[in-house]
Copies of this chain bind each other. A is one copy, B any other.
Amino acid sequence: MNAKIEFKQIGVIRTPYKNSAPYQPVDKDSGDFRIVLEDAYVDGLADLNLFKYIYIIFFIDRISDTVSMEVTPSWAPGTKVGLFASRSPNRPNPIGISIVKIKKIVNNEIFTSGLDVFDKTPLLDLKPYIKDLDSKEDANYGWLDNIDSNKEHLSLHIKGIPHDY
Contacts and interface: CB of A to CB of B under 8 A. Distances in A.
Contacts of A3: 8-9, 122
A57 interface: yes
Interface in A1-54: 1-12, 24, 38, 41-48, 50-53
A50 B146 CA distance: 10
Nearest to A138: B52
A47 B124 CA distance: 29
Q: Copy number in this complex?
A: 2
A125 interface: yes
Given A53-B139, A159-B133, A48 B5 contact: no
Given A51-B85, A83-B44, A131 B140 contact: yes
Contact of A130 (B8, B69, B158): B158
Contact of A128 (B7, B86, B122, B130): B86
Contacts of A12: 1
23 contacts: A5-B122, A7-B7, A8-B92, A10-B93, A41-B84, A43-B82, A43-B83, A44-B70, A46-B69, A50-B140, A51-B140, A52-B138, A57-B93, A57-B95, A57-B97, A84-B125, A87-B130, A91-B125, A97-B127, A129-B136, A130-B144, A135-B137, A135-B139
